[in-house]
């Protein structure tokens, strides 16, 4: 069996738009990560960046189940002793409406240079307006 080598310049790349309003955060992030990696394509290989472009709109209206709005915590460290900073989902989405979606998708991508490149192919917007209408993105349906 031969190893598949596809020239990334010859791969047809599509644009997709995901409307996140009322959909659980994990479902939005999982669908975006699959499209960004190109796992839905028959020519998928892990060592090449052949994924599609994803535009996520209404990121501020993404839903979480149960008590996660209050209990889900995001942590970061300032680099100083005792410098842990934490905030819950409600505070994070109020401070920066696109942060929880970006954080969830980044966690589902590979932790290497290909994953960092794939993350740049995603655009997240808090409202319904986005400047990518010229690319004619296809809407993604959630079953």
pLDDT at 7: 87
pLDDT at 21: 96
Range of the domain at 32: 15-65+97-139
What residues contact residue 66 under an 8 Å CB cut-off, 6+ apart?
Answer: none
- Residues 58, 97 contacting (CB under 8 angstroms): no
CATH for 131? 3.90.1180.10
What tens digit of pLDDT does each residue of 43-79 get?
A: 898 989 999 999 999 999 999 999 999 999 999 999 9
Which residue ranges of the chain lie beneath pLDDT 50?
none
Residue 57: CA count within 13 A, CB half-sphere: 15
pLDDT at 5: 80
Unique residue bearing structure tokens 């709005």: 69
Query: Would residue 101 count as lying in a domain?
Result: yes
Angle between helices 99-108 and 25-37 (to 10 degrees): 50
Query: Would residue 103 count as lying in a domain?
Result: yes
> What's the domain count of the chain?
1
pLDDT at 77: 98
Taking the model in full, what pTM does it have? 0.92
Taking CA atoms, 70 is separated from 12, 13, 21, 29, 58, in Å, by 42, 38, 19, 20, 20
Query: Would residue 82 count as lying in a domain?
Result: no
β-sheet bridge partners, residue 73:
88
Query: Would residue 79 count as lying in a domain?
Result: no
């Amino acid at each position: 069996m031969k190893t598949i080598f596809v020239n990334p310049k010859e791969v047809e790349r599509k644009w997709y738009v995901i409307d996140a309003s009322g959909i659980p955060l994990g479902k939005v992030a999982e669908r975006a990560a699959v499209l960004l990696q190109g796992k839905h394509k028959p020519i998928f290989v892990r060592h090449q960046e052949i994924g599609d472009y994803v535009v996520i709109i209404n990121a501020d209206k993404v839903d979480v189940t149960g008590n996660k709005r209050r209990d889900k915590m995001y942590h970061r460290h300032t680099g100083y002793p005792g410098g842990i900073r934490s905030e819950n989902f409600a505070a994070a989405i109020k401070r920066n409406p696109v942060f929880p979606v970006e954080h969830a998708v980044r966690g589902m991508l590979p932790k290497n240079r290909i994953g960092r490149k794939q993350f740049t192919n995603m655009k997240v917007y808090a409202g319904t307006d986005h400047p990518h209408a010229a690319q004619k993105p296809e809407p993604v349906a959630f079953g």
